[in-house]
Structure 1
């Protein structure tokens, strides 16, 4: 009990330190996001506590907005940066000395902290949801009772679209790659294989949307989605498959993993957006959430620990284009490709379990 008391006191002290950092940076008007405040604090909370404190860990990896002017320079950041691979548009647009196909990344030299990110946010049984909205709460059992607007027809036209807004995202060793055997396409293919094996016809679009320009990736993937929906009106579910990136100001990178059946897997995070204040032109977000919560539960039931808490956030990410649209993050840039592909298999099986009940 004494040791627990000391740990609790330490956690409280850390939380107070974090709050102080937030207040100071906020007054100085140099706080671009809560994620920046977290990394400025320079510490990692145990387990899922870090996730509970951060309100937008995607800030370093997703733009989700209008295209911005391209940067004038493509010089990589110093490895001592808190975000050595995803810290700037410059790194995202870097293509190496000769611009030929292959790696489009900088070398990782940061320390790595491996951890399981769980038990943060709102809980219902084994389902956890991190609600980042100000005006919308979440009733998890209530959402599980609602019917998604998805009707799967087996052995018919394509029912699922898998695509990649940030196609060149890759993993340890080559954190950006145009080689589809090493980037997000490889993970998407593992998901598609599970769906097809279950009789759920899947269209996997491998278009590269983030090279040679990273800016405007979501604009370009929107075109891909709309073209696919026009060509295959049977599509019920669209999945944007990414990988995440997390770290501290000191340069430590976070590697989220889970042990599943004795094998290491990259943790998976589902993102379901919300038009929290009505400004996103995103009227049907609730339907995506219904599907997301069911998928979160399926992962938790089949593979405990595989899923990070579902991210219910004030973002759109092209999820407004159908009533079955989700963005899914597989690990971070310091997970291995094998870990991510294994997670693709597991996630695919969890998705099959959900879609088999929506026929």
Structure 2
């Protein structure tokens, strides 16, 4: 009996649910139709007895119709978009609570989609940032433009910083002019002396009655202009470093030194192992002549491949072009420091007597047989941009420089 009553109650409630659902559908459709008609009447009718149909309000009708459809489709949210001359409703407490919970603004239907689709929110934020950036750029451009317009030439001239800068520039120009006028004209090839302290080499005991200087050539076939054959290597003595060695020997002998000049071709017929063969020559001569203390290996340098090679290859002394020279020191020797001291002292003396004749001292990670004496100098006289006459002229001044150095260091 009880079971029969339960079954009848379930059937009763089921019909009640069906009835309520049907009524809600009918009411919803009716409200949608009535509200739509109301919007159309407002768009085309009379408000307060006056026609207000205007061209720009036709666009608003479409927006309001869309918003009304959203309101009826999602009644729980009741999307409202306030228009001054359109559809509006007051906010309720429920709307405000739902808005806070869902981060949704009832006055802006766009926030409904942004709340449901996060990609739209990110895109909108990026566009807002771009708008801010463009606004700032426009402000900067306007400021710069106004600044340029407002700063007249008169304002610039009256600026204190500009005045001080112009005064300093005028003083500098006047100082330079006075210096140029007071300085006597010199030959452009001469380089001023730059004084710098250098250490003097250790004293050396020399027996002036016996040979004390040994001159030789590891690369004896190195040649000068006009003998450029064989990449500036020739067997013709008169155009090579051997001729330069001959002349240097002659000048040093005139100054009272006994000199041995060895002209063995260590780089011919094979260029390889030239230093090995040169070492044999050096050792042999030093064994035979223990009095030899000062060694000069005379070379010819290669000119750099640039437009100033020729101009920088010589200086003018007494109206003549003289080939410049440089000293090379191998840093793989145990006595490198003493070799550097000797080379720097020669250059300092050269700068004192003939400014610009000596180039800077060169260091390379080799030995060059320089370990055989603390008074060993590998001297490169001139380069392939020089002719033989210019290299020969160098020997006269180099002999004078070396004579001064030797006199300073001998006991």
> For the Cα contact (< 8 Å) 1:190–1:348, is it kept in 2?
no
What is the DSSP-based 3-state SS (H/G/I as helix, E as strand, rest coil) of the residue aligned with 1:145? coil
1:171 matches 2:224: yes
Is the 1:245–1:254 contact (alpha carbons within 8 Å) kept by the matching residues of 2? no
Name the one with the larger strand percent: 1
CA RMSD of aligned residues (A): 2.2
In structure 1, what is the equivalent of residue 358 of structure 2?
A: 307
Structure 2 partner of 1:298: 349
2:225 and 2:239 in contact (8 A); partners too: no
Distance, in Å, in 2 between the alignment partners of 1:325 and 1:309 is 17
Q: Secondary structure at the match of 1:169?
A: coil
Query: Is 1:162 aligned with 2:215?
Result: yes
Decide whether the 8 Å contact of 2:190 with 2:316 is kept in 1.
Answer: no
TM-score (norm 1): 0.57
Residues 308 and 237 of structure 1, relative CA distance in 2, 3 Å threshold:
same
Superposition pairs of residues 8-19 of structure 1, within 5 angstroms: none
1 or 2, which has the higher helix percentage?
2
Any idea what the Cα deviations from partners look like across 1:290-344, whole Å, max 9, x if unmatched? 2111110111111111111111333321111111111001111120100000011
1:98-138 Cα distance to aligned partner (Å, 9 max, x none)? xxxxxxxxxxxxxxxxx97979xxxxx636xxxxxxxxxxx
| Inter-partner Cα distance in structure 2 for 1:335 and 1:228 | 31
Structure 1, residues 202-232: CA drift from partner, whole Å, max 9, x if none? 1100111111111111111111110111011
Distance 1:253 1:206 in 2: 32
Structure 1 unmatched ranges of 5 or more: 1-114, 120-124, 128-139, 276-281
Residue of structure 1 equivalent to 2:321: 264
> Does the aligned pair in 1 maintain the 2:301–2:382 contact within 8 Å?
yes
What is residue 199 of structure 2 aligned with on the other side?
A: 145
1:181-196 residue pairs with structure 2 within 5 A? 181-196=238-253
Shift in alpha-carbon separation, 1:257–1:200, aligned structure 2, 3 A: same
**Alpha-carbon distance between aligned partners in 2 of 1:303 and 1:176, rounded to the nearest angstrom:** 29
Q: How far did 1:159 drift? A: 0.6
Between the two proteins, the alignment pairs up a number of residues equal to 217
Per-residue CA deviation, residues 51-104 of structure 1 (Å, 9 max, x unaligned), is xxxxxxxxxxxxxxxxxxxxxxxxxxxxxxxxxxxxxxxxxxxxxxxxxxxxxx
In structure 2, list runs of 5 or more residues that go unmatched: 1-187
In 2, Cα distance between equivalents of 1:152 and 1:126: 31
User: Residues 176 and 258 of structure 1: is their aligned pair in 2 closer, same or farther, counting only changes over 3 Å?
Assistant: same
Q: In 2 relative to 1, CA 220–116 (structure 1 residues): closer, same or farther, beyond 3 Å?
A: farther
1:203 is the counterpart of 2:203: no
- In structure 1, distance between residues paired with 2:191 and 2:382: 13
Specify the alignment match of 1:345 in structure 2: 396
Q: Which has the larger radius of gyration?
A: 2
Equivalent-residue separation in structure 2 for 1:117 and 1:315 (angstroms)? 32
Contact 1:153/1:200 (CA < 8 Å) preserved in 2?
A: no
Q: Structure 1 residues 194 and 152, CA, compared in 2 at 3 Å: closer, same or farther?
A: farther
Give the TM-score normalised by the residue count of structure 2: 0.50
